[in-house]
Amino acid sequence: MLYNFDLTKEQFQKNSENATFFSLLDLHNKKVSSISYLTGDKIEIQSFHAFKFYNEKYNNIVSIQLNNLARHLICDNIDAVGFNGYNLLWTKLKKLAKEFKNEGFYTGDLKQNQKVNDYFTRSGDKWELLKSLIGTDYNTTTQDFNILEGFALVFILDTNSEERVKFIQHVHSYFYQDYGHILGHYFRNVHYLLEHIDSIRSPNNFANVFRAQLSRYELSLMYYNALSNMTSKRHIELLLKYDIFNGLYASDIFYSPDSKTIEKDLTYNLKNKNTP
């Protein structure tokens, strides 16, 4: 009799856990369906398709901030600009600075790099010199903008988790300022779902079901959010524990991280979070 009672109690608990999970999953899908994006032509894009547009907005901010990062590298850490950065500066200085006019093309020679370094050091105000060479944030030519973005991206690719996470947190603050009121409740609901999954028996089965619901652009925004200042240690722990980014398309992230880099960057943010 007691054995049957225990079985009934266990089955009841299991049914309750299942019902709560699928209720939360249904709520998640409703949240996704409620997300909308209004285009410049006043066309409303909804549900999964809206996430693609928010990703494009994120990448637009990334592009602008990579441009700003490139300018900071030139003024504060010029050796990090690489061949393309030095080539850009050398080409501009050949047109504007007397001591460069008779020089040949940039070849990557260390003496050429040093000559650029010395010129910037003597200028006194590196930022003003940079503006005279390539313009301000608002009037840079498309070609120069692309070069700046390119060598800043190489820096992000080659740098460590600390620098990458710092950059993404900077980008995310701009993104969240504009779209946090639209997407914030989505990220919170994801967390509630993961918390419930973690509280039940056979959590991996349920985590797999949840992960299967996520579109590629949901995953990329979830990844950026996980590296931001807006998330908690607990949230990152759950994302890692249940391998939520297993289906993440590297090409949807601006620096195309492989699985090891994804884990490394998430782990770095986890270890350096102040919020529980």
The overall average pLDDT reported for the chain is: 92
Question: pTM of this prediction?
Answer: 0.91
Tens of pLDDT, residue by residue over 265-276, are 999 999 997 766
Count other C-beta atoms under 10 Å from residue 117's C-beta.
14
The pLDDT assigned to 74 comes to 97
The pLDDT assigned to 5 comes to 47
The more confident residue out of 165 and 14 is: 165
Pairing of the two strands 44-46 and 36-38: antiparallel
The pLDDT assigned to 9 comes to 64
Under DSSP, the state recorded for 218 is H
Burial 19-47 (b: 16+ CB within 10 A, else e): eebeebbeebeebbeebebeeeeeeebee
Q: What ranges do the domains of the chain cover?
A: 58-158, 160-276
Residue percentage of the chain with pLDDT more than 70: 95
